[in-house]
Amino acid sequence: MINFTVGPVQSSEEICRIGAEQVPYFRTSEFSSLMKENEKLILQFAKADEKSKAIFLTGSGTAAMEATVINLLTSKDKVLIINGGSFGQRFVNICSVHNIPYTEIKLERGKDISEDQLKEYEGKNYTALLVNVHETSTGVHYDINLISEFCKRNNLLFIVDAISSFLADELDVSKLQIDVMITSSQKALACPPGISILVISEKAEKLIYENDPHSLYLDLKDALKNAERGQTPFTPAVGILIQINARLKEIEHKGGIEKEIEKTAELAEDFRKKIKGLPFEIESDSLSNAVTPIHPITNSAYKIFEILKDEYGIWVCPNGGDMSDYMFRVGHIGNLTKEDNSKLVDAFLDLQKRGII
């Protein structure tokens, strides 16, 4: 199978090779050193300042999103949530479950946020802003500079889910003054799913120590204290953390974060060029390098996903719920090449020949 989904994605040979190794015992100085190295490289690639910290949670991205909300926000906050799809909605649901007062800025499917839309919320005593910089469900990559400037002017705590964008799109945590940046192992990190990562500013760290998250597993104080010695409060997904270590070093050796983003951007551009002329619409205002969202005009998106899977050995990424017939997505993260793009486009051309699209 060739995997064009947005996670889990394809891993490099080296990452797969490590997957075959026995998982070592981890309450050791050896594992602590590896974890400290993971933290250093994540902070480096996020361009976070030297007072920032990284936390590695064993859980899905949603665990990290919820941990962020409950450790940093309380019922005294007044939160703005940019909601342009199912991951924006997830932040809404998390705030709702935990009784955090919020206002949603609902965006139309496929639309970026505009200066005008934000203006309405200027100077209104909001305390924090939550955004999924790449709304993975619709493939919209928001104007993060615009949002960052808004947060700076209004002195908002700035929380950014960059789960499917980190390492694929430019993101300068320090310059944008992001207080919490969230990502996961199975996106552009191209490791198996199971680990989520938080990059935490000094300001966010202080808030974590002031708050009571009412959770043991998601208590970031505990995670921060353990991280000082390169450990975690509970048995983590050790194997995946070792794979992450190799992958971070792989990125560094290949020229660093800029090269990695460039590679993904080229792959995305190559694909978008190759599908011109096919009966597809791309409805996104602003694309991430990570994904191309495709609305097929002539057949159900889910049907196309199924045929590609069963007859061509290719996974594209179906959408869920009421979007399932409308849209599928093609990922450009993970260990993919331009030749893989060509194979997918050949399959599309064949579907066209067969009258399926």
Q: Which residues within the stretch 188-207 sit at the binding site for a second copy (CB under 8 A)? A: 192-194
Farthest-apart Cα atoms in the chain, separation: 62
Looking at 78, 98, 109, 274, which residue binds a second copy (CB under 8 A)?
Answer: 98
- Cα separations (Å) of 160 from 121, 201, 212, 311? 18, 12, 21, 38
Please enumerate, as own/partner, the contacts of 150-154 that have beta carbons within 8 Å and a separation of 24 or more.
150/118, 150/121, 150/122, 151/177, 152/177, 153/122, 154/121, 154/122, 154/123, 154/126
Separation CA 216–CA 69 (nearest Å): 14
Three-state secondary structure call for residue 288: coil
Write the interaction track for a second copy spanning residues 104-123; mark x where CB under 8 A is met and - where it is not: --------------------
Question: Could you tell me where the DSSP H helices lie in 29-129?
Answer: 29-45, 61-72, 86-97, 115-119
- Identity of the residue, 147 or 242, whose beta carbon is nearer to a second copy in the bound complex: 242
Q: Is 38 in the site for a second copy (CB under 8 A)?
A: no
Identify the CA nearest to 241 among candidates 184, 164, 306. Answer: 184
Query: Taking the complex as a whole, how short is the minimal distance between the CB of residue 274 and a second copy, in angstroms?
Result: 22
Looking at 54, 147, 268, 317, which residue binds a second copy (CB under 8 A)?
Answer: 317
Q: Is 313 in the site for a second copy (CB under 8 A)?
A: no
Write the interaction track for a second copy spanning residues 247-286; mark x where CB under 8 A is met and - where it is not: ----------------------------------------
Q: Is 75 in the site for a second copy (CB under 8 A)?
A: no
Site residues for a second copy per CB under 8 A = 1, 3, 5, 7-8, 10-11, 16-17, 19-28, 58-63, 66, 90, 93-94, 97-98, 184, 186, 192-194, 214-219, 233-240, 309, 315, 317-318, 320
